């Protein structure tokens, strides 16, 4: 393979090299883009056994000769005009530009030195350049500017800066956040916003995208689930300025901390809020595989800014992540108590048992916690005080009560008889009818009806007996009456009772067909012989003890079960002693006392329990008891209002194998143990144990990890400056982008870690820089010179995120319900939007209370059909971890702001506020502008809007019905004070204001 | 001030001084629907740089959602009839993935085809007699009998069919087309989705099926609703007339123009044009869905009644969308999940889709539009030759679909399954191959339509090899 003469000439004719090249900055991007796919880390895809990403390998295969490009194969191959030899090959559709070719040439001439990828080296504290600025960030930014343009843009004016800070820090307009003049005292203004409880909501918007938080489970039926406590945890964490390292550990492995508190369990919802499925026919193992790989993708992007996703099927083509790394990372999550198929076919990890986790429950979606609502201590205290007073009243012993009590005791005693047994009815006509079951009136045993059950196979009908207190006495027998049709006899009949929260109390007659309890010879399936005589009413009897229904057991339901045939069922009951019958329902000490004093007066000792019991039923105390019951209800509501949240519990780990090409059905790959990516870390478990999620979390949250702090500060920077110092917020790896300011990125990362991972301090550091405070409005020349603002020599205007577009309208109109946390909110939504959902069919129920007006971060997040307003303004469905949102500019956004009732109502309520008590139009406009845009209107603007007002007023005066219709939009009724025509025309003006580009943009 | 903005302003200078009550020229402009000269809303990255000669200008995907049985529609299997009720030979199913039948792996029985097949058209291709109207298209359509897919459950299988990946968050085919080719309308979205149901249990369909994934969100599909507002928020609020809304729009845009003079921000000009388009959509969408002016014979052809939300009505709307320059039109009919009673269910679903499908193809042909419209008809997977009661379970080893129009060779059949219709026996075609073929007809080399995300060049056809099914091309 000899170079053509032409190529040699070309090489010779290129100018001499100049500045020293950096492998990371200049060379690697070219190789990564064009070469590594076939000559990189993925050994499956590697061509000619040649890899260019490792210097030693490249040298061994004689890819180049350092210092001598002319005899370097790499250079010859990229310049050749022989299509067979050309690199990259034509069929790859890649090609190098002349500049790129020259860069490679110069680099080899300079010695072809490699550097490890920048993001995989621990960030070092870089020294701040001395550029004469006071703020370190500004010195870095100035140093990054070309020499001749070494200055920042002028500062934004105070009003614009206030609006910028307000939206950037709390996601609300300055008229709501009440930020003080930031030019006068910037630090105080920033501290004020950082202390606001709305700061957490603002930061949560960005974190919840990464955590793929949603209110529905995702796949297929996409039912609502309850995870809101996790969302509130994130908000609280930012508000309380939780250390970021702690924030990481709690979310990934809070359950593995020593004596975790409730909050730490709630945090682990991070691992459980992934999409899951309950679709019929899915395979447990397939979905478990899906969940594991999704978790690796999310964990690597969210915390490490690394895309490991490719390694599921092959060694990463551009980064040193291997397939083994991917599955070894999966193995960290294999201890999570979960299943793949939530449709009844799935199985939890072998041996997992929720009973081993007191306080937790097993929800349909797996392990969960019920979290009490916000602090209700004060309310409970108040209730306790009121209760005490009533209880005193209840305890008062009056002569009237004494008389009442004695009468009751005497009556009870008079009923006591012998110990002869008698029947106590449990079921009679009242309980027998059941929807869908036949009853007969002719052939009955007692009363006027009997139940008729007929079927070719298994038939069972249940009777609810919970309204009657059935507490078993010692020696009680249970009985029922049946009539078996001689023409169509059943093969088997069964009597079944529900007690102790289960149905395992069965007695049966005939052949063994009914599947319930089958195979057991115990109380849960007791055989009492052949079928009874046909064609006559027969009493079936079974001793309670035989069915594990001894003294004290409470029966709540009965089931009549048969296999085949026609059977009439009637009266059922309990055969008990006469005393037992008389004293039915009384607590044991009371019964003992009555029986013991049958023929003599009560002793003091006997009287106490009886009197205590009697206070609970005495008619004269009914009012007091009712009041107490109400208080109890209130206490229960205060105490018992809980929100469920799914949590991570660790149980027996599943076996994780490397899946060849990611194929879950292929079990031929080797088993892997939890391990950190080999090229980044070297941590092995002590002999005989395995690494845990906590080890993973601690490694991620460690100062030794080169990626964690960089990924986070890069994203926080992007929140305030528009885009990351390394542009790709997902990926800091080889395919990401070389940072525009690598020294600043590292300095911020080290500063952040050294501050104790202090998020608020990081935010304050950024927003107090001049870089942040620059004007976003620069000359056309400056804009044209650097349209992408690579050097941060100005601020970037940014459209508000979806949530804040909504919050702004609600806040300026005064409609906003500023409640922090709680259940998700359901604002107006187009009717029928959920029509494609099924299993079950869904009907959206908007909130008709104060929840209608809550912030966007609380909107019910339905993954398969996200609220159209959120969709229009680029919020992600959160099916996967998302590190950055698009900022689109579409007609759907216009339609939304124009016609969505949320915005129409906000405009109208805004208009009402502006009109007040007949304020003149000019003043309305001024107030409106100040509230919405933090500035006064220009005369030209005022004239345009006044003209709009006049024309609209003309229309509404002519068409008052239109005015009434417009004012009727939304739940909040229009005030009576304003003239409807005036209000409708002013609403047109406020609608225009809410639609302005300036309104939804922070400059 | 950047050029784009200056242009936008100049374009709009005649809007100055508009007055709602005076019926000014500006308002007249905004209110007029004759906007044929307007520029397309998005020119597409490939724009005039197509890789190949373009045959198709647009695509209509008739998605038969739920998993149509190939054995009762397009894949003739007389041998299966002979084994009806007999055990499924284990050689076919051993070690294979099953969905709901996994519990009865050891007791699998064959279910013979529940409908007769007969030859249709000059090509004489055997097709199900349950779909006589589709059968009448036989010489216009190319049938692929050797489709296979990777996902055995509805949701991920649709995601795979639409995005070429099972990982959520990838762009759907319609979004790729908009990104590459742009749209030829600035009054309607370039990618429109409609749904209908009937004929089987309605499996849910998620909006992720028409999402733009990592592509800019302006490329996502817009769902048109059969009931309520055809497009969300396309209707004015109560008490606001079209003129009143136009007055408001005009004011908003003038205010934005003033902002544009003070503030250097290219988004302002875009915002102004988006408000113009929104206002046009407010007229053009109702105009699109107002089929009252369609002649009677068209309603008869489709078997549609105005506003009934049926598949047939959606087919008629699809034609109207195609006429108006929409790039990708996707109709879902959610009626094909026949786990039980497949015989009757096929009749029912045929009643929903047979006539409308054929009418759409014929109507397009009559108007000369079939030549540049690519039709794809099929579901997300097939169904088992094994019985599930008297129905069939999900099946990924083999299924059928057909394509028509825009350079597709009518009357061809491609690929074969084994004698029982269980697995591909010859010339397998993957979902990625279908994507590659579709792009090919649109003038795109599927390897060259890429988008950088997470540092990688993503494409619709994924990382595995995909091939254009040249055998079905004219």
Q: Does B51 touch chain A (CB under 8 A)?
A: no
Q: Does B30 touch chain A (CB under 8 A)?
A: no
CATH code for the domain in which residue A476 is found: 2.60.120.430
Is residue A142 assigned to a domain?
Answer: no
CB distance B239–A965 less than 8 Å?
Answer: yes
Q: Which of residues 228-257 of B touch A (CB under 8 A)?
A: 228-229, 231-241, 243-245, 247-249, 251-252, 254-256
Report pLDDT digits (tens) over A421-437.
777 777 777 777 776 67
- Nearest chain B residue to A840 by CA distance is B204
Can you give the pLDDT at residue B11? 37
Q: What is the DSSP string of B150-164?
A: S--SHHHHHHHHHHS
CB distance A891–B231 less than 8 Å?
Answer: no
Q: What is the mean pLDDT of chain B?
A: 87
Contacts of A966 in chain B (CB under 8 A): 237-240
Is residue A152 assigned to a domain?
Answer: no
- Nearest chain A residue to B244 by CA distance is A952
**Shared domain check, A96 and A39:** yes
Structure tokens at B470: 């040249």
Is residue A66 assigned to a domain?
Answer: yes
Q: Does B282 touch chain A (CB under 8 A)?
A: yes
Question: How distant is the Cα of A232 from the closest Cα of chain B, in angstroms?
Answer: 26
pLDDT value at A795 more than 80: yes
Confidence band for B23, pLDDT divided at 50, 70 and 90:
very low
Q: Which of residues 305-344 of B touch A (CB under 8 A)?
A: 334
Find how far residue B211's CA is from the centre of its chain. Answer: 13
- Choose the most confident range, by mean pLDDT, from A467-481, A555-569, A801-815: A801-815
- Nearest chain B residue to A991 by CA distance is B248
Give me the domain span that covers residue A507. 421-582
| Least confident residue range of A676-680, B216-220, B340-344 | B216-220
Find how far residue A644's CA is from the centre of its chain. Answer: 11
Report pLDDT digits (tens) over A160-213.
999 999 999 999 999 999 998 999 999 999 999 999 999 999 999 999 999 999
Is residue A527 assigned to a domain?
Answer: yes
Confidence band for B269, pLDDT divided at 50, 70 and 90:
confident
Is residue A436 assigned to a domain?
Answer: yes
The number of C-beta contacts closer than 8 angstroms across A and B is 259
Mean pLDDT of A353-373: 92
Can you give the pLDDT at residue B40? 42
Contacts of A955 in chain B (CB under 8 A): 20-21, 241, 243-244
Q: What is the DSSP string of A388-400?
A: HHHHHHHH---HH
Q: Kindly list the structural domains of chain B, giving each domain's residue range(s) and its CATH number in brackets, ordered by start.
A: 1-14+23-30+235-292 (no CATH), 50-226+308-472 (3.40.720)
pLDDT value at B452 more than 90: no
Mean pLDDT of A561-573: 89
ipTM: 0.78
Closest listed residue to residue A494, CA positions, set A520, A467, A466:
A520
Confidence band for B29, pLDDT divided at 50, 70 and 90:
very low
Measure CB to CB from residue A281 to each of B153, B252, B447 and give the nearest one: B153
**Shared domain check, A390 and A361:** no
Kindly give the residue spans of alpha helices, DSSP state H, lying in A23-132. 28-34, 36-39, 55-60, 73-79, 98-109
Residue A702 near residue A259 (C-beta atoms within 8 A): no
| Least confident residue range of A236-245, B14-23, B305-314 | B14-23
Report pLDDT digits (tens) over B89-104.
888 888 777 777 877 7
Long-range contacts of A687-695 (CB under 8 A, 24+ apart): A690/A331, A690/A653, A691/A332, A692/A253, A692/A256, A692/A332, A692/A335, A692/A650, A693/A252, A693/A253, A693/A256, A693/A271, A693/A332, A693/A333, A693/A335, A693/A648, A693/A650, A694/A249, A694/A252, A694/A253, A694/A256, A694/A257, A695/A332
Q: What is the mean pLDDT of chain A?
A: 90
**Shared domain check, A455 and A308:** no
Can you give the pLDDT at residue A816? 98
Is residue A143 assigned to a domain?
Answer: no
Q: Which residue in the block uniquely carries the two structure tokens 């005030």?
A: A975
Report pLDDT digits (tens) over B425-450.
999 999 999 999 999 999 999 999 99
Mean pLDDT of A869-891: 90
Measure CB to CB from residue B278 to each of A779, A891, A969 and give the nearest one: A891
To which H or E segment does residue A720 belong? helix A708-721
Q: Which residues have C-beta within 8 Å of that of residue B143, sequence separation ≥ 6?
A: B74, B125, B127, B400, B401, B402, B412, B413, B414
Can you give the pLDDT at residue A425? 79
CB distance B252–A904 less than 8 Å?
Answer: no
Contacts of A739 in chain B (CB under 8 A): none
Which of B10 and A347 is assigned the larger pLDDT?
A347
DSSP 8-state secondary structure symbol assigned to residue A99: H
- Nearest chain A residue to B102 by CA distance is A281
Measure CB to CB from residue B255 to each of A737, A988, A996 and give the nearest one: A996
Q: Does B207 touch chain A (CB under 8 A)?
A: yes
Report pLDDT digits (tens) over B189-220.
899 999 998 877 778 888 889 988 888 878 88
B444-to-B68, B121, B438, B440 alpha-carbon distances in Å: 29, 32, 9, 5
**Which percentage of chain B shows pLDDT scores above 70?**
91
Question: How distant is the Cα of A259 from the closest Cα of chain B, in angstroms?
Answer: 37
- Domain finish residue from A82, A116, A150: A116
Question: How distant is the Cα of A682 from the closest Cα of chain B, in angstroms?
Answer: 26
Best of B26, B255, B452, B462 to disrupt the A interface (most A CBs within 10 Å) is B255
CB distance B248–A880 less than 8 Å?
Answer: no
CB distance B455–A955 less than 8 Å?
Answer: no
Closest listed residue to residue A548, CA positions, set A501, A599, A493, A615:
A501
CA distance B150 to B161: 10
Contacts of B21 in chain A (CB under 8 A): 951, 954-955
Confidence band for A291, pLDDT divided at 50, 70 and 90:
very high
**Shared domain check, A561 and A454:** yes
pLDDT value at A9 more than 60: no
Q: Which residues have C-beta within 8 Å of that of residue A847, sequence separation ≥ 6?
A: A825, A826, A827
Question: How distant is the Cα of B235 from the closest Cα of chain A, in angstroms?
Answer: 7
Is residue A278 assigned to a domain?
Answer: yes
Can you give the pLDDT at residue B160? 95
**Which percentage of chain B shows pLDDT scores above 90?**
66
Residue A863 near residue B206 (C-beta atoms within 8 A): yes
Confidence band for B37, pLDDT divided at 50, 70 and 90:
very low
Can you give the pLDDT at residue A467? 67
- What b/e readout covers A32-65, taking b as 16+ CB neighbours within 10 angstroms? bbbbbbbbbbbeeebeeebbbbebeebeeeebbb
CB distance A997–B267 less than 8 Å?
Answer: yes
Q: Which residues have C-beta within 8 Å of that of residue B194, sequence separation ≥ 6?
A: B223, B224, B226, B314, B317, B318, B329, B330, B331, B332
- Domain finish residue from A91, A116, A141: A116
- Nearest chain B residue to A221 by CA distance is B204
**Shared domain check, A429 and A571:** yes
CB distance A279–B155 less than 8 Å?
Answer: yes
DSSP 8-state secondary structure symbol assigned to residue B222: E
Contacts of A837 in chain B (CB under 8 A): 204
- Domain finish residue from A582, A602, A624: A582
Q: Does B297 touch chain A (CB under 8 A)?
A: no
Is residue A85 assigned to a domain?
Answer: yes
Report pLDDT digits (tens) over A109-123.
999 998 888 899 999
pLDDT value at B15 more than 80: no
Can you give the pLDDT at residue A42? 81
**Shared domain check, A449 and A521:** yes
Contacts of B203 in chain A (CB under 8 A): 220, 838
Can you give the pLDDT at residue B19? 34
| Least confident residue range of A596-610, B72-86, B334-348 | A596-610
- The count of structural domains within chain A is 5
Can you give the pLDDT at residue B59? 97
Residue A494, beta-bridge partner list:
A508, A561
**Shared domain check, A462 and A342:** no
CA distance B296 to A316: 60
pLDDT value at A583 more than 80: no
Contacts of A318 in chain B (CB under 8 A): 455-456
**Shared domain check, A367 and A477:** no
Contacts of A938 in chain B (CB under 8 A): 258
**Shared domain check, A551 and A429:** yes
Report pLDDT digits (tens) over B135-178.
999 999 999 999 999 998 888 899 999 999 988 788 999 999 99
CB distance A898–B278 less than 8 Å?
Answer: yes
Can you give the pLDDT at residue A254? 98
**Shared domain check, A557 and A425:** yes
CA distance A191 to A193: 5
Identify the three-state secondary structure at position A464.
Answer: strand
**Shared domain check, A684 and A570:** no
Closest listed residue to residue A332, CA positions, set A370, A359, A378, A292:
A292
**Shared domain check, A564 and A437:** yes
Whole-prediction pTM: 0.76
């Amino acid at each position: 393979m000899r170079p053509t003469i032409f190529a040699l000439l070309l090489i010779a004719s290129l100018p001499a090299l100049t500045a020293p090249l950096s492998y990371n900055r200049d060379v690697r991007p070219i190789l990564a883009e064009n070469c590594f796919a076939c000559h990189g880390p993925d050994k499956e895809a590697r061509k000619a056994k040649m890899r260019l990403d490792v210097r030693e390998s490249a040298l061994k295969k004689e890819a180049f000769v350092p210092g001598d490009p002319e005899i370097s194969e790499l250079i010859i191959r990229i310049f050749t005009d022989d299509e067979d030899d050309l690199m990259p090959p034509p069929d790859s559709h890649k090609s190098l530009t002349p500049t790129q070719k020259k860069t490679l040439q110069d680099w080899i001439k300079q010695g072809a030195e490699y550097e490890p990828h920048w993001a995989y080296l621990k960030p070092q504290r870089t020294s701040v350049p001395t550029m004469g600025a006071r703020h370190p960030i500004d010195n870095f930014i100035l140093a990054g500017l070309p020499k001749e343009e070494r200055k920042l843009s002028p500062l934004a004016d105070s009003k614009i800066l206030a609006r910028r800070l307000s939206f950037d820090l709390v996601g609300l307009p300055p008229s709501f956040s009440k930020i003080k003049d930031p030019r006068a005292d910037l630090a105080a203004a920033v501290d004020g916003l950082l202390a606001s409880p709305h700061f957490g909501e603002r930061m949560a918007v960005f974190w919840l995208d990464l955590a793929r938080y949603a209110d529905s489970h995702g796949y297929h039926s996409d039912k609502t689930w309850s995870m809101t406590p996790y969302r509130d945890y994130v908000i609280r964490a930012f508000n309380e300025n939780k250390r970021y390292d702690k924030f990481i550990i709690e979310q990934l492995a809070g359950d593995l901390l020593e004596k975790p508190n409730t909050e730490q369990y709630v945090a682990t919802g991070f691992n459980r809020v992934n999409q899951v499925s309950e679709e019929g026919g899915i395979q447990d193992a397939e979905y478990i595989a899906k969940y594991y790989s999704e978790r690796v993708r999310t964990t690597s992007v969210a915390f490490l800014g690394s895309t490991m996703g490719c390694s599921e099927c092959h060694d990463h083509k551009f980064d040193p992540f291997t397939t083994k790394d991917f599955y070894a990372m999966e193995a960290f999550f294999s201890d999570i108590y979960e299943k793949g198929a939530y449709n009844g076919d799935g199985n939890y990890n072998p041996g997992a048992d929720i009973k081993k986790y007191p306080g937790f429950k097993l929800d349909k979606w797996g392990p969960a916690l019920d979290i009490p609502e916000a602090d209700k201590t004060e309310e409970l205290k108040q209730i306790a005080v009121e209760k005490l007073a009533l209880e005193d009243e209840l305890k008062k012993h009056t002569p009237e009560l004494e008389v009442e009590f004695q009468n009751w005791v005497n009556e009870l005693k008079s009923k006591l008889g012998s110990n002869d047994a008698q029947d106590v009815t449990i079921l009679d006509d009242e309980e027998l009818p059941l929807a869908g079951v036949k009853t007969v009136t002719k052939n009955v045993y007692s009363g006027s009806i009997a139940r008729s059950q007929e079927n070719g196979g298994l038939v069972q009908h249940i009777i609810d007996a919970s309204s009657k207190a059935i507490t078993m006495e010692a020696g009680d027998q249970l009985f029922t009456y049946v009539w078996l049709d001689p023409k169509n006899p059943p093969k088997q009949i069964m009597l079944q009772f529900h007690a102790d929260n289960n149905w395992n109390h069965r007695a049966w007659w005939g052949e063994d067909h009914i599947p319930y309890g089958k195979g057991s010879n115990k109380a849960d399936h007791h055989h009492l012989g052949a079928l009874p005589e046909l064609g006559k009413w027969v009493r079936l009897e079974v001793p309670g003890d035989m069915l594990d229904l001894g003294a004290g057991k409470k029966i709540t339901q009965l089931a009549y079960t048969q296999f085949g045939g026609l059977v009439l069922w009637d009266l059922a009951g309990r055969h008990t002693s006469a005393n037992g019958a008389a004293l039915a329902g009384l607590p044991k000490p009371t019964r003992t006392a009555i029986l013991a004093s049958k023929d003599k007066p009560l002793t003091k000792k006997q009287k106490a329990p009886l009197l205590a019991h009697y206070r609970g039923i005495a008619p004269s105390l009914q009012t007091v008891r009712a009041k107490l019951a109400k208080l109890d209800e209130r206490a229960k509501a205060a105490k018992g209002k809980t929100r469920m949240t799914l949590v991570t519990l660790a149980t027996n780990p599943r076996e994780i194998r490397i899946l060849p090409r990611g194929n879950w059905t292929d079990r031929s790959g080797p088993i892997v143990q939890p391990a950190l990516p080999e090229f980044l870390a070297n941590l092995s478990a002590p002999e005989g144990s395995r690494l845990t999620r906590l080890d993973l979390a601690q490694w991620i949250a460690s100062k030794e990890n080169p990626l964690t702090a960089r990924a986070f500060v890069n994203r926080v920077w992007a929140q305030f400056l528009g885009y990351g110092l390394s542009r790709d917020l997902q990926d800091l790896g080889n395919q990401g982008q070389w940072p525009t300011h690598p020294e600043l990125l590292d300095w911020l990362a080290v500063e952040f870690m050294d501050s104790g991972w202090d998020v608020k301090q990081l935010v304050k550091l950024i927003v107090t820089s001049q870089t942040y405070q620059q004007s976003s409005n620069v000359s056309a020349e400056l804009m044209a010179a650097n349209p992408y603002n690579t050097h941060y020599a100005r601020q970037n205007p940014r459209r508000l995120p979806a949530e804040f577009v909504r919050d702004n309208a609600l806040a300026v109109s005064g409609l906003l319900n500023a409640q922090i946390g709680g259940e998700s909110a359901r604002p107006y939504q187009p009717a029928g939007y959920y029509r494609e959902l099924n299993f079950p069919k869904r009907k959206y129920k908007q909130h008709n209370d104060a929840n209608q007006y809550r912030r966007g971060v609380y909107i019910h997040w339905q993954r398969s059909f996200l609220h159209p307003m959120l969709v229009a303004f680029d919020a992600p469905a959160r099916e996967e971890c998302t590190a950055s949102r698009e900022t689109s500019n579409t007609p759907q956004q216009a339609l939304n702001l124009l016609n969505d009732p949320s915005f129409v109502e906000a405009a109208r309520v805004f208009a009402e506020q502006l009109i007040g008590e007949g304020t003149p139009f000019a003043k309305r406009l001024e107030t409106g502008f100040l509230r919405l845009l933090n500035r006064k209107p220009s005369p030209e603007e005022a004239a345009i809007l006044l003209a709009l007002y006049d024309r609209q007023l003309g229309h509404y005066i002519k068409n008052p019905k239109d005015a009434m219709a417009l004012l009727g939009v939304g739940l909040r009724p229009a005030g009576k004070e304003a003239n409807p025509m005036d209000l409708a025309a002013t609403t047109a003006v406020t609608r225009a204001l809410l639609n302005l580009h300036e309104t939804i943009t922070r400059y | 001030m950047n050029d784009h903005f200056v242009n936008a302003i100049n374009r709009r200078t005649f809007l100055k001084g508009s007055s709602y009550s005076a019926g000014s020229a500006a308002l007249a402009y905004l209110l007029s629907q004759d906007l044929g000269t307007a520029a397309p809303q998005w020119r597409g990255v490939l724009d005039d740089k197509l890789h190949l000669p373009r045959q198709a200008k647009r695509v209509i995907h008739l998605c038969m959602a739920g998993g149509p049985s190939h054995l009762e529609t397009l894949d003739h299997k007389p041998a299966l009839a002979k084994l009806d009720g007999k055990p499924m030979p284990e050689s076919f199913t051993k070690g294979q993935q099953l969905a709901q039948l996994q519990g009865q792996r050891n007791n699998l029985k064959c279910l013979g085809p529940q409908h007769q097949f007969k030859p249709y058209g000059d090509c004489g291709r055997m097709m199900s007699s349950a779909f006589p109207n589709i059968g009448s298209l036989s010489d216009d359509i190319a049938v692929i009998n050797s489709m296979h897919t990777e996902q055995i459950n509805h949701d991920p299988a649709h995601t795979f069919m639409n995005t070429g990946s099972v990982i959520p968050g990838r762009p759907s085919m319609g979004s790729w087309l908009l990104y590459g080719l742009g749209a030829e309308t600035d009054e309607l979205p370039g990618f429109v989705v409609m749904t209908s149901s009937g004929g089987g249990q309605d499996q849910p369909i998620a909006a992720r099926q028409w999402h733009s994934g990592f592509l800019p969100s302006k490329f996502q599909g817009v769902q048109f609703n059969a009931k309520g507002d055809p497009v969300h928020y396309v209707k004015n609020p109560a008490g606001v007339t079209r003129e009143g809304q136009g007055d408001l729009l005009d004011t908003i845009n003038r205010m934005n123009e003033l902002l544009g003079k003070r503030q250097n921000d290219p988004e302002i000009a875009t915002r102004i044009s988006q408000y113009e388009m929104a206002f046009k959509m407010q007229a053009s969408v109702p105009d699109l869905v107002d089929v009252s002016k369609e002649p009677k014979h068209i309603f008869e052809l489709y078997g549609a009644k105005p506003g009934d939300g049926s598949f047939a009505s959606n087919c008629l709307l699809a034609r109207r969308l195609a006429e108006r320059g929409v790039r990708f039109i996707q109709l879902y009919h959610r009626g094909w999940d026949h786990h039980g009673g497949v015989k009757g269910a096929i009749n029912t679903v045929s009643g929903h889709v047979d006539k409308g499908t054929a009418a759409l193809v014929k109507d397009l042909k009559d108007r000369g539009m079939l030549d540049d419209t690519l039709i794809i008809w099929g579901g997300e997977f097939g169904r088992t030759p094994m019985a599930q009661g008297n129905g069939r379970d999900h099946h990924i080893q083999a299924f059928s679909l057909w394509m028509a129009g825009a350079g597709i060779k009518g009357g061809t059949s491609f690929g074969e399954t084994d004698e029982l219709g269980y697995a591909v026996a010859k010339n397998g075609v993957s979902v990625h191959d279908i994507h590659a073929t579709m792009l090919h007809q649109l003038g795109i080399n599927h390897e060259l339509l890429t988008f950088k995300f997470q540092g990688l060049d993503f494409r619709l056809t994924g990382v595995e090899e995909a091939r254009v099914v040249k055998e079905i091309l004219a």
